[in-house]
Structure 1
Amino acid sequence: MAETPFSDITRLRATSSLSFMKISRRYLLLIVLLFLTGGLLGGSFGSYLNDTRENLRKLEDAFLLINRRYVDPVDPNKVAEDAIGGMIESLDPHSSYIDASAFKEVEESFRGSFGGIGVWFQVLDGDTARVVSPIENGPSEKVGIRAGDRIIAVNDTSVVGVGEDEVMRRLKGPVGTQVEVTIYRLGLNQPFNVLITRDLIPLYSVTSSYMVDELTGYIRINRFAQSTYAEFVQAIADLQEQGMGRLILDLRDNGGGILQSAVAIVDELLSGNDIIVSVKGRNVPDEVYAAGHPGRFETQPIIVLTNHNSVSASEIVAGALQDHDRALLIGQRTYGKGLVQNQYPLPDDSRLQITTARYYTPSGRLIQTPYEKGDRETYLEDKLERWLEASRDPEGYLVPVRKSPIFEILNGLGHQ
């Protein structure tokens, strides 16, 4: 008898079902409870469960057929990751899938330390990696690397024209291991090699703090990590000891980060129970974050510097201070990311980072730039075009900030 597609799928599903039996038993009670709940809540919930089950079965059948029947061998892990990527592409521009190795690097950056050589560097326009500065008392400073040095090879492999992420990956490694770096230094005839022992490198997010003059303090924050609030409080205390009576807070090129760190910093700058940010989603409880304790810098003047790369958590800080008339914002229009992502672990330690809510400034503004779901490329191209337009014609790009029905515009955006 000829084999039908139905029998083929049934047999494939049967061969894989044994591996899922133990897992299925664990969720049997949950499934029973869900069906009971569906009966209590009505047919719509039961219909939702049926649709979900059928779609999951479709995905399973397609996965099994591709892995068992495709003409050439396929990598099951890649097939699964491509399928996840396809689902993510239909969502907003900021939802993403993070594979296990990439997540480890992301986690390191937000914990605040990693094994590396201790340099700040940048790669511009496909050029070589240029050392901006060695980290004080770090491995690179100890072997004599200077600002302006060019990193042209790592372990005898050229990194000329290589992007920052790849250069970073090659320089990082377990603490105590060694890496050979080839340096080109202006004024020397030949490049030279240095052997650097990797060490635990603190990743400071408050990258600069000093007194501009006798009264004005300056603090630069380049991202919001777990350690940012403590770093900020220390910087405020140090500058106040030097007589700071007003603050320049630099959030330019701040890529965002942890919401709670941003909220804690704003709490140091607002008085009373002022709202800092509201978070609203479909399947998550609405949350309102407000100032809750006496801050260290509640009444003194503040200027906030922003640009087109001030993103997400940095926009929460700038927006809250602006709405409460606590700061004057100077610079460019910020990026416009008002979506909140949560990370959900998958069995192989990879993560789904999906948008679960939107955040709103105290006056009710949603900062998120409009987007079409599934069209990430156009969204990013539009961002670039707006930045170029603002750079070409700043005056023509200015638009009035709308008044909120809740807040009255005074010196900043609003005052309750």
Structure 2
Amino acid sequence: MFKNLVVFMMLLVPVMDCVAAPKKKKEEPVVHLTDEQIYEELKKLALVFEVARDNFVEEADEKKMLEAAMNGMLGALDPHSSYLSADDFKEFNDKSHGEFGGLGIQITSDRGAVRVISPIDDTPADKAGIKAGDYITHIDGEQVFDLTLNQAVKKMKGRPGTKVKLTVVSDDGEPKEMTLKRAIIKVESVKHDVKMLADADPDDKETPKIGYIRISDFGATTSRDLNNAIKELEKDKVVGYVVDVRNNPGGYLTAAIDVSDAFLDSGEIVSTRGKEKTDIERVFAKPGDAVNGKPIVVLINHGSASASEIVAGALQDNGRGLVMGSQSFGKGSVQQQKPLGDGTAIHITIARYYTPSGRSIQNEGITPDIEVLHSKVEVLEKKESMYSEASFKNSLKNDKAKKKDKKKSDKDEKDADDEETPFEELTDEEKDARDYQLQRAMEMVIAMDTVKSRSITSPTDVFADDKIE
């Protein structure tokens, strides 16, 4: 299954009515129909199409109607299954292979709202300050409610250099308008750097160096890029590694397996279980640890989903890495594209995945070994988004679970359209110093290295509690 199928776990996070708290889902019994009943229902579907087309007050777009019907059928299964038109399927594959045009926002659509999964690093959206969990309510002044995901994406795409105005609502409920300039988005799946603590002396030869590996998504080149990054970092004699998968919504299952395998010398990485009880696949690490047993801290947050959770769960359950940050998203399902032969396809959930200890993180996520909220402000206010996989109205069950602004003049509006939203330029050092989670993760890597070299009982002895503020 893992070798023969190109499986892409695409994160589609729905949003509830803007900032309303999610309601507890009421489970409904599954209804099975006989072949004859299915035939009768399909006849009824054709009849509904004909009556609607012939009686609608305006000329009906037949293709649009049929595509919406197919999307509705698949959307009834779970939030991640959908129909892909030929254009959508091509666009889907283009995104998965690392380059596309637009703003650099990964979004999802559900119940008429558009929500940001995460901005892609170093893109117009990222630089403008759009955050994971923000809602986009208008594009160029037009409401986006009831648009499909792909329709919303197409409205934000355009020629590089052209501008688009978004109305964005954050978790605090305050809408703000921002104008972004479109660009060619090149997704650099893996970045790496040698880092030191913010207060460290870079001229001191005894200052510990930490290998920082940022994985922004799990794409076709992630495994290769990771191995190249490790080779470069090892030349600098780093004492350990921070693997940062915050706001990483997922990607190829095979890439997540390869990344986990790079740090594991043995043990199970992940298992998937399909519809039938006998449909179980287990993947194990091959001998060889690319970093030779050096300490690893995996940084996660609420935007870490799917493939990111596989990596965090594999290293956590095998005792190979310490997971820090905040609770991950909780998407424990696997999707696959099934081509239909005419350039179109369906994107459908085919299995659940489980961590090596047998945990299903569906709707629950990975709990960090040490909780570190993103900043001092967030420690006090805890402004992580309340939405997760469990917020979906029809998300899969965890089968392992125990139980407005003032009106502006036309001139003001035109000026706002023409003016690109400014953003704060920071050096890499300034960004690192402000990144509270990263600083704590680097401290932990140093502590773990000290444990290894001096035989201290536990790296967490350095900290009094398992929650860092």
Partner of 2:392: 376
- The SS at the match of 1:253 is coil
Amino acid at match of 2:392: R
Alpha-carbon contact 1:325-1:411 (below 8 Å) kept: no
- The reply to whether residue 328 of structure 1 matches residue 322 of structure 2 is yes
Residue 251 of structure 2 is aligned to residue 257 of structure 1? yes
Pairing 1:343-362 to 2, within 5 Å after superposition:
343-346=337-340, 349-362=343-356
Instruction: Report the residue type matching 1:76 in the other structure.
Output: E
- Alpha-carbon spacing, 1:315–1:411, altered in 2? closer, same or farther (3 Å): farther
In 2: Cα distance, 1:179 partner to 1:149 partner: 19
Residue number among 274, 280, 288 corresponding to 1:281 in the alignment: 274
Contact 2:81 2:348 in 1 (8 A): yes
Aligned residue in 2 for 1:206:
190
SS at match of 1:329: strand
* Partner residue in 1 for 2:209: 215
Q: Which amino acid aligns with 1:248?
A: V
Tell me if structure 2 keeps the 8 A contact 1:249–1:303.
Answer: yes
Shift of the 94–114 alpha-carbon distance from structure 1 to 2, 3 Å rule, reads closer
Task: Tell me by how many angstroms 1:348 deviates.
Answer: 5.7
Tell me: CA distance 1:148–1:318, structure 2 relative to 1, closer, same or farther (3 Å): closer
- Could you say which residue in structure 2 is the equivalent of 1:294? 288
Q: Distance in 2 between matches of 1:311 and 1:122?
A: 13
SS in 2 for 1:268: helix
1:84 aligns with 2:70: yes
Alignment partners' CA distance in 2, 1:133 and 1:55: 47
Letter in 2 for 1:328: L
Are the counterparts in 2 of residues 247 and 303 from structure 1 also a CA contact under 8 Å? Answer: yes
Residue matched to 1:268? 262
Quote how far apart the aligned CAs of 1:259 are: 0.4
Residue 57 (structure 1) aligned with residue 43 (structure 2): yes
Q: Tell me, in whole angstroms, the C-alpha distance in 2 between the residues paired with 1:295 and 1:339.
A: 27
Which of 92, 98, 107 is 1:106 aligned to? 92
Q: Deviations over 1:328-370 (max 9, x none)?
A: 1111010000011112234663432221110000000000017
Q: Distance in 2 between matches of 1:160 and 1:335?
A: 31
Whether the 8 Å contact between 2:120 and 2:187 is mirrored in structure 1 is: no
Cα shift at 1:228:
1.0
2:48 counterpart letter in structure 1: A
8 Å contact from structure 1 (residues 336, 369) kept in 2: yes
Aligned length: 293
Q: For the structure 1 residues 209 and 106, does the alpha-carbon distance in structure 2 shift closer, same or farther, using more than 3 Å as the test?
A: farther
**Preserved CA contact (<8 Å) 2:78 2:395:** no
Q: Which protein has greater RCO, CA pairs closer than 8 Å, 6+ apart? A: 2
Residue-by-residue CA offset, 1:203-234 (whole Å, 9 max, x unaligned): 21114433336431111111111111111111
Q: Is the alpha carbon distance of 1:375 and 1:319 closer, same or farther for their aligned partners in structure 2, counting shifts above 3 Å?
A: closer
Contact 1:92–1:374 (8 Å) recurs in 2 = no
Query: Shift in Å at residue 268 of structure 1?
Result: 0.7
Deviations along 1:158-215, one digit per CA (max 9) or x if unpaired, are 9699999979966655xxxx74569xxxxxxxxxxxx99x87x642111443333643
Equivalent position of 2:176 in the other structure: none
Letter in 2 for 1:344: K
Supply the RMSD in Å over aligned alpha carbons. Answer: 4.4
**Greater helix content:** 1
Give, as a single letter, the amino acid of the residue that structure 1 aligns with 2:75.
E
Counterpart residue type for residue 305 of structure 2:
V
State the one-letter code of the partner of 2:80: H
CA distance in 1, matches of 2:46, 2:143: 39
**Higher mean C-alpha displacement, 309-318 vs 47-56:** 47-56
Aligned mates of 2:347, 2:87 — CA distance in 1: 15
Q: How far did 1:242 drift?
A: 1.0
Amino acid at match of 1:310: S
Q: Does 1:364 align with 2:358?
A: yes
Larger mean CA deviation between 292-301 and 359-368 belongs to 292-301
- CA, structure 1 residues 49+171, in 2 after alignment: closer, same or farther (shift >3 Å)? closer
Deviations 1:262-282 (A, max 9, x none): 00011111113x110000011
Q: Is this contact kept in 2: 1:307–1:331, CA < 8 A?
A: yes
Question: 2:417 maps to which residue?
Answer: none
Corresponding position: 1:338 with 2:332: yes
Q: Percent identity?
A: 35
Q: Which residue of 311, 316, 326 maps to 1:317?
A: 311
Q: Which has the larger radius of gyration?
A: 1
Counterpart of 1:206, as a letter, is V
Task: Compute the displacement of 1:93 (Å).
Answer: 2.5
Q: Equivalent residue of 2:251, what SS? A: coil
- Structure 2 equivalent of residue 403 of structure 1: none
- Distance in 2, matches of 1:207 and 1:168, equals 28
* Residue type of the alignment partner of 2:61: D
Matches within 5 A, 1:1-20: none
Shift of 1:320: 0.6
Whether 1:304 aligns to 2:298 is yes
* Structure 2 CA distance for partners of 1:303 and 1:74, relative to 1, 3 Å: same
